[in-house]
A and B are shown apart, each in its own frame.
Chain A
Amino acid sequence: MSADTTSSDLKKTPLFDLHQELGGKMVPFAGYAMPVQYPMGIMGEHSHTRTRTGLFDVSHMGQVILTGDSYEAVARAFETLVPMDVLGLKEGRQRYGLFTNDAGGIEDDLMFANRGDHLFVVVNAACKDADIARMKAALEPAVTVTPVTDRALVALQGPGAEAALAALTPAARDMSFMDVATLDLDGVEIWVSRSGYTGEDGYEISIPEAHAETVVRKLLAQDGVAPIGLGARDSLRLEGGMCLYGHDIDATTGPIAASLGWAIQKVRRPNGDRAGGFPGAAAVFAEIEAGASQRRVGLKPEGRAPMREGVLLFKEAEGGEPIGRVTSGGFGPTVGGPVAMGYVSADLSQVGTTLFGELRGKRQPITVHALPFVAANFKR
């Protein structure tokens, strides 16, 4: 039923040996051999992260440092690639961002942080080569784009995350949601942000490759910390209402259709002090002014049957053309039933609107639901 998937052409993260030791079931993901689950299983790992603490290897993601004459110089340059307020981001703070294309579509989503004298960017694994090429082409030589290839990245997520990390480096406790800091963990310099992809409180921690396994073993030794695979990462982020690039957002979806307009600060919007100046600004502004014809929404299928990516959505129980589609869907262990997100016609995007999803030839009710499905538990 399953072939050996840890073939030699897959890249390994610095934690590969540890995953195997912990019984991780390795699968190919974005060119890397990654653990999809451990013996606890996806459902158990999901619940564990919501109630205790989960540790995720996300070393496959791209970490990039942008340097120049000053943070201000780098920020101004980076604003030509993203519709975010980079210049106004305070030192020690992180923000969610989007690379746009000339049509106003989304090339990738990312996190960027003001780390004093430089900008630190984290991008998706599947997009990182293209993102690095894009940044180099647009920003060099005034800005130097340096991929960080000698550091692991892990996420520590859940209500016990603070206690677990603070036991090893007490200053972690003083960080608020979206703060970033350089901390010392038993002599190892770690770059920490208080953020994540689960809807829970927690941290993302960049660790020098040579110390990655040691630091992760110390984290796993803390009370209630368990390793969590990509399977639960996906169900956690889906309940948390967060987009998966290549599924919920892509080069053809604009930020407004994607319901990510909140990520575009006022200063970059029409009539802002630094309005526009990013790829596809005219298209994005047109969507801001007129609204998008489709919107990304949360969707709750009635009954127990999951509606997964690709399920077509209809206004009526019979007949008519599709008015949308599911882009992510599955079972939400914390919700205790199926959850999904997808795009629907803007006029049918109001919370509470009942639509129909076509599943194995039969149309089943599915209702537009507020996102997130599970209330966020961030430390503001």
Chain B
Amino acid sequence: MKYTEEHEWLLAESDDLITVGITNHAAEQLGDVVFVELPEVGTEVSKDDEIVVIESVKAASDILAPLDGEIVEVNEALADNPGKVNEDPQGEAWFFKIKPSDLSPMDDYMDEAGYKDFIG
């Protein structure tokens, strides 16, 4: 598992498939999530594009694409049950799967120990 400074986690299922979600820490900071807007499957995204909108009872925030690539699957269950993001952010409540066209940013992302230091 790799982590971004935007509090996303990335799990490499293979070199062709990376699953992306938000961390427990991020979910806790957001508070109760009430709305999730996901990208469409097949969308070509560039790193740092705003591709997911999350609204909590407190505020709206974005998730950025962590890599260049194509969205190949999204977690439709979150649209009907956004509260899942609070229940299991690092498991069932993944957001999307991306087929990366450039894996090099993965090297810059933090490992678990690095992320723990990052959030203090």
Does B bind A? yes
A-side residues, CB < 8 A to B, are: 1-2, 37, 41-43, 231, 235, 304-306, 308, 330-331, 333, 338, 360
Query: Out of B26, B31, B34, B79, which one reaches A306, CB within 8 Å?
Result: B34
Contact check, B57 vs A231: say whether CB atoms are below 8 A apart: yes
User: With A308-B60, A331-B55, A331-B57 known to touch, is A43 a contact of B32 (CB < 8 Å)?
Assistant: yes
A-contacting residues, B13-72, CB 8 Å = 25-26, 29, 31-32, 34-35, 37, 53, 55, 57-58, 60
| Interface membership of B7, Cβ < 8 A | yes
| Interface membership of B113, Cβ < 8 A | no
CB nearest neighbor in B for A362: B37
Contacts of B82 in A (CB 8 A): 304
Contact check, A235 vs B57: say whether CB atoms are below 8 A apart: yes
Contacts of A235 in B (CB 8 A): 57
Contacts of B55 in A (CB 8 A): 305-306, 331
Contact check, B37 vs A42: say whether CB atoms are below 8 A apart: no
Contact check, B31 vs A37: say whether CB atoms are below 8 A apart: yes
CB nearest neighbor in A for B30: A1
Contact check, B32 vs A42: say whether CB atoms are below 8 A apart: yes
CB nearest neighbor in A for B26: A1
CB nearest neighbor in B for A25: B31
Known A330-B57, A331-B55; 6 more pairs at CB < 8 Å: A43-B32, A231-B31, A304-B35, A305-B55, A306-B34, A331-B35
Contacts of B37 in A (CB 8 A): 305
Contact check, B31 vs A41: say whether CB atoms are below 8 A apart: yes
Q: How many angstroms between the C-alpha atoms of A43 and B31 in the bound complex?
A: 9
CB nearest neighbor in B for A337: B34
CB nearest neighbor in A for B82: A304
Contact check, B31 vs A42: say whether CB atoms are below 8 A apart: yes
> Shortest distance in angstroms between B71's beta carbon and chain A's nearest beta carbon?
17
